[in-house]
Chain A
Amino acid sequence: MSFVHLIIFIPFVAALLIPFFYKYLSRIHTGWFVLPIPAVLFVRLAAEVPLVAQGEIFMHTMPWIPSLDINLAVCLDGLSLLFSLLILGIGTLVVLYSIFYLDKEHEALGNFYLYLLIFMGAMLGLVFSDHLMLLYAFWELTSVSSFLLIAYWYQRKKSRAGALKALFITIFGGLSMLAGFILLSSGMGTYSIREIIGSGKEVTLLPQFFPAMLLILLGAFTKSAQFPFHIWLPDAMEAPTPISAYLHSATMVKAGIYLVARLTPIFGGTMPWFWLVSLVGLVTLFWGSFSAVKQTDLKAMLAFSTVSQLGMIMCLLGLGSAALAEPLNIMSSLYPAAMLTAIFHLVNHSTFKGCLFMVVGIIDHNTGTRDIRKLGGLIRLMPLSFTMMMIGSFSMAGLPPFSGFLSKELFFTSVLHIARLDIFRLETWGVLFPVVAWVASIFTFVYCMILVFQTFLGKYQPQKLEREAYESSWGMLLPPLVLAVLTILFFFYPNVLADYLLLPALAAVLPNMAAADFGIEPILAWHGWTPELMMTIGVVLLGTLLYLTFPKWSRIYHQLPHWLTLNHAHDRFLSLGEKISLTTTKAYMTGFTRDYLAYIFLFMILLLGGGLFGQQNFSFDPTGNSPIEFYEVILVLVMISAALTVALAANRLTSIIALGVMGYVIAIFFVIFRAPDLALTQLVVETVTTALFLLCFYHLPKIKKEVVRLSFKITNLAISLGVGLIVTAMALSAQGHQLFPPISGFFENSYELAGANNMVNALLVDFRGFDTMLEITVFTIAGIGVYTLIKLRMSRRDSD
């Protein structure tokens, strides 16, 4: 077992132990036992940074289901190292934060840390997996643990609804991703991601290349809350704030980003991948930032801003994937630069968004509300929170001196120059990118300002708050402070970060290019009076203007009618599905036995009739039939008229007697057909049956002697005629076919073998005695049943 395996397994093992700590050491907050786990793992992984920066890749495999070629294959390269450091680093801070956020007395902490550790382990497994099926297993585990965490306060209706929605959408994506994985691995003959990458351009020639890409992207888009699957993310804000900070800003929503980045070497460089990823990202970027402005709940605002930032990263990943396209032209260093920007912004977003969520959590915790309309003037009461909120928001808005500025500038560089490239018809449509990106940035700027100034400036309204606002303890302030400091540090030393983490990650995303080929210049905070800087200045100016005039134009948000929203579509889809299945079920599950019998007979007619006549299997060959005597025809006629009498008689007694006539005629038939034992049995049985009928329906006093006529129904007649025809046709058709001679000649030895002259009796008690034994059993059971029915009088009414 390698250390990478250990890192994945330790959280799961720890999760198993959590309930014991929670139960037996309840005086100490359970979080303190959890805290060392991510911290130690973080340090252990950080020790690998220099090695990985030199291009080393750790590959380990452990058998899991070797016969199916499913192994615990893990790989530690630049990309997974970057992600795992984010998961563990922010995980440590979130656990620390949650110790002070969640109350020891009132919360079910055992559940919380159990779910959290499962999630952490699943997420680590996800980024380390080299095996597609393993990746999928961890992927679904993150969905399930996220579901549990969103519904942590399961007493609340909204929590349950949010959890269900998140599960529904992410599992939908997860399943289509699985289908895509299966298509991909069946085409390539291997499950290993690295081997598929290693096979080069072979994968693009597969017939299932495009469907696999589409299905996998569906998984990535749903997980990373891309348009139009982003609707689950704002509803997931019902989770406790540490969870929102951890899952729904820094880690889980990045799983889709990770997947796209990881599979870029496989699918990247093709036109559909480029356009799908970058356009969906662009639309998400715009829609997320546009929707964020209208929110009044701080967490909802942050949720939409997460959606928007994820869209930006996705868009950059799409643009960067063009680096793998053939043939490369002079401008080719631009694409790797876009990819690097994506990775850079991913790190930045994780830090400042985690910080922002934690600050919002502090505000919620210390004032009792997250509603912007109730908040205001907190700057004097909560100065530290204000500072951190400002750092996070300004970084998100892309202002210096915070890390967001750098990645936003690089983003502008990428979209500005993308139009100049002449692949994938960018010369026509490329102009779309800078324009939409710029407009989206303006909205980003506006909601960042709202976030800071509406919350902390303005008038303090203590009467609207649940409790008097106060600054938090250091334990709660420390985690966001660390992230805020990192945000500033990344601005001043971006190239340290780039050299040790970002470039190795880039090498993993674009594996077939040597590092020197990238031609990427170091990230510079000041890069001269370039168009990008002009764009940023434009964003600031227009954004400030829009922020100041916000009440005047906020009406546009109410223009979109409710029935056009995506949430409404989602709800309609679900309720429509329920309604359709309910009506179809009600339509055929009528509760009438007659209907079900009709279905059964209809299927019999269709299947057997189809088999007989549809495929021309019907044949009729009367040669070899025995001759017909006159009296036999008479008997047949008697039989038919007796059967008709049974059916049509007005009097029940007549029916019973006609039924008896039928039984006796059958007995005569058995005589004619040389079956003495059958004739004997039939006579006796018919007599007893008739007696029973009479007993039950005539002599038992309770039954009224009402006249029951058989009602006529044309459908019933059609069905029964169909059944009769099919049976006759089968009987006739079967006569002409004898595949092999009968085995009955053997039973002529009954005297030698069994000492019996009567072959039928020898068959019944000697050759096939088992049948008889079980038949006796049937008889006994029926007898007991009859006795019970008559004797036992326990109805529900009586026992009450």
Chain B
Amino acid sequence: METLISVLIGILFTIGVYLILSKNLLHIIFGSSILSHGAHLLIITMGGLKKGAPPLVSENAAAYADPLPQSLILTAIVINFAVTAFLLVLAYRSYDVLGTNDMNQLRGVNDE
């Protein structure tokens, strides 16, 4: 299972990076979303998968899934959400003010 997920993470990273390298601002935000999905999966995979019960004490299981990566991911999800929301509004505003979403046109002045 870990191997399979590792390959999936690699595919997600490939697509995310490819999107980030594109010139459309919206694609870049999609790319960063996919990258963060990949990162979350990576963290949980590194903690080991499907070993034991959910980390709830009342289950009385012999072993629990590792709670530490889960709490880390929870934090990461929320931060990622905040950043994505901000990026979205920023992209909207920049389109509003500058009239373009094309990164190649957002270059500042030619010779400063």
Contacts and interface: CB of A to CB of B under 8 A. Distances in A.
A331 to B, nearest CB: 68
Which has the most chain A C-beta neighbours within 10 Å: B33, B46, B104?
B33
A628 B4 CA distance: 8
A692 B80 CA distance: 14
Given A646-B34, A674-B52, A697-B26, A685 B64 contact: no
Contacts of B30: 646-647, 655, 659
A544 B69 CA distance: 97
B38 to A, nearest CB: 7
Contact of B64 (A627, A640, A759, A775): A759
Interface stretch (A144-152, A445-453, A744-752): A744-752
Nearest to A713: B21
Contacts of A675: 44, 54-55, 65, 70, 73
Range class of the B interface residue count? 35 or more
Given A727-B13, A759-B56, A647 B85 contact: no
Interface stretch (A1-9, A38-46, A588-596): A588-596
A574 B24 CA distance: 42
Contact of B4 (A636, A663, A685, A725): A636
Interface string B78-112: 11011111101111110111000101101110100
Contacts of A378: none
Contacts of A763: 67-68, 70-71
A581 interface: no
Contact of A760 (B38, B50, B71): B71
A750 B71 CA distance: 14
Given A628-B4, A666-B37, A732-B3, A760 B70 contact: yes
Contacts of B5: 636
Contacts of A662: 33-34, 37
A593 B88 contact: no
A708 B24 contact: yes
Contacts of B78: 681, 685, 775, 778-779
A515 B14 CA distance: 84
Which has the most chain B C-beta neighbours within 10 Å: A644, A689, A731, A759?
A731
A783 to B, nearest CB: 8
Contact of B21 (A720, A764, A790): A720
A731 B81 contact: no
Interface in A628-645: 628, 632-633, 636, 639-640, 643-644
B2 A735 contact: yes
B68 A747 contact: yes
A759 B55 contact: yes
A728 to B, nearest CB: 3
Nearest to A622: B3
Interface residues of A, number: 94
Interface string A655-677: 10001001100100110111111
B64 to A, nearest CB: 6
A678 B49 contact: no
Nearest to B58: A757
Interface string A777-790: 01101110110011
A628 to B, nearest CB: 5
A380 interface: no
B66 A626 contact: no
Given A647-B18, A732-B3, A785-B86, A760 B67 contact: yes
A783 B89 CA distance: 10
Closest 4 CB pairs of A and B: A728-B10, A724-B14, A782-B82, A720-B17
Given A632-B4, A674-B54, A782-B83, 7 more contacts: A674-B52, A677-B70, A678-B77, A720-B13, A720-B17, A775-B75, A782-B82
Interface of B: 1-24, 26-27, 30, 33-34, 37-38, 40-42, 44-58, 64-68, 70-71, 73-75, 77-79, 81-86, 88-93, 95-97, 101, 103-104, 106-108, 110
Interface of A: 591-594, 597-598, 601, 622, 625-628, 632-633, 636, 639-640, 643-644, 646-647, 652, 655, 659, 662-663, 666, 669-670, 672-678, 681-682, 685, 688-689, 692-693, 696-697, 700, 702-703, 708, 710-711, 713, 716-717, 719-721, 723-725, 727-728, 731-732, 734-735, 742-744, 747-748, 750-751, 756-760, 763-764, 768, 771-772, 775, 778-779, 781-783, 785-786, 789-790, 795
9 contacts: A592-B103, A674-B53, A700-B92, A720-B14, A728-B10, A735-B3, A742-B47, A763-B70, A789-B90
